[in-house]
Amino acid sequence: MILVIGATGTVGRGVVAGLAAAGRRVRAFTRDAAAAAAGLGPGVELAEGDLARPQTVRAALDGVDGVFVLSLGPDAAEHESAVAEEVRRCRVRRVVKLSSVAADEPAAGSYGRAHAAGELAFARSGAEWTALRAAAFMSNVVQWRASIAAESRVYQTYGDIPRAVVDPADVAAAAVECLTSDGHGGRIYRLTGPEALTAPQQAARIAAALGRPLEYVEAPREAAAEAMAAGGLPPAFAAGLLDALADSDPRRGGTPLPTVRHLTGCPAGTFDTWLASHLDELAPQRGPVD
């Protein structure tokens, strides 16, 4: 049995589907089992719980020999440390942690340091552990949806830094491989897409796919911090995210790597391919107006 933490999210959904397709028994950890049941296929067990309540993780680990784990938000490192403790207590054999290229030494901002701390906790858990340090996800551009609809503009901070954005489906496929085959214990894999793109370049690809012009606007850091605060993020946490975003070291997610192909046997998906199948998430088709 493999427990998937983050099972209802962008990456976790693909991990659940990939494990089920590989014939593995899957248990999905979620804060809302009723909502998750609708989105996850039949045959997926559900474990309702919350990373903030480690006893719910302990209950979900019953009979589990592999764990996929991700966490997010200001308490991510604390949550992962608690999961690692339960992994140690329950003697789970294998753990795959979704991490970030921001955890590369020296870690970028408090966001990168939190991921590095999570990795360390699993390294000490006694389990065979693997870290997947992903570059920025292609799906991050969905955050531009509202301003595309309202103003035909996209706003981004530190948008001129080229990022080898990765398809979350490739991250999920890499996780499935590491969870279901041997030889990945103690390994740290950096996952990227096949080309490095700046935000203006991504915006131009989206404009071409939508068939209408979009204006790119570089948003100052202060504006991004304000928007994050308005969205409810604590200022210190938002600053940590922006510090990681500001990092322009091309070795940290700015250079395409062959890791996805090495792990999955398939070339990493391109931004254009991702875009073609997710265009509705950026600009949903409008029905007839009466």
Ligand X SMILES: NC(=O)c1ccc[n+]([C@@H]2O[C@H](COP(=O)([O-])OP(=O)(O)OC[C@H]3O[C@@H](n4cnc5c(N)ncnc54)[C@H](OP(=O)(O)O)[C@@H]3O)[C@@H](O)[C@H]2O)c1
Residues found near ligand X in the complex (CB under 6 A):
6-12, 30-32, 36, 50-52, 70-72, 98, 100, 134, 136-137, 140
Tokens of 194: 């096949």
- Based on CB atoms, which residue is closest to ligand X, 71 or 259? 71
Tokens of 282: 């950026």
DSSP conformation letters of 30-44:
ES-HHHHHHHSPTT-
- Based on CB atoms, which residue is closest to ligand X, 37 or 152? 37
- Based on CB atoms, which residue is closest to ligand X, 3 or 36? 36
- Based on CB atoms, which residue is closest to ligand X, 100 or 125? 100
Return the residue nearest ligand X (CB atom).
9
CB of 70 to ligand X, least distance (A): 4
**Cβ neighbourhood burial of 222 (10 Å; 0-12, 13-18, 19+):** exposed
- Based on CB atoms, which residue is closest to ligand X, 51 or 61? 51
CB of 113 to ligand X, least distance (A): 12
Q: Which helix (H) or strand (E) holds 73?
A: none
**Cβ neighbourhood burial of 284 (10 Å; 0-12, 13-18, 19+):** exposed
- Based on CB atoms, which residue is closest to ligand X, 58 or 151? 58
Q: Which residues contact 118 (CB under 8 A, 6 or more apart)?
A: 71, 76, 77, 80, 81, 84, 97, 99
CB of 244 to ligand X, least distance (A): 9
Q: Which residues contact 208 (CB under 8 A, 6 or more apart)?
A: none
- Based on CB atoms, which residue is closest to ligand X, 152 or 227? 227
CB of 136 to ligand X, least distance (A): 4
Q: Interior CA angle at 10 toward 151 and 227, to 5°? A: 40
Distances (CA, A) of 252 to 61, 103, 144, 246, 255: 33, 9, 24, 11, 7
CB of 108 to ligand X, least distance (A): 11
CB of 73 to ligand X, least distance (A): 7
CB of 64 to ligand X, least distance (A): 15
CB 234 within 8 A of CB 76: no
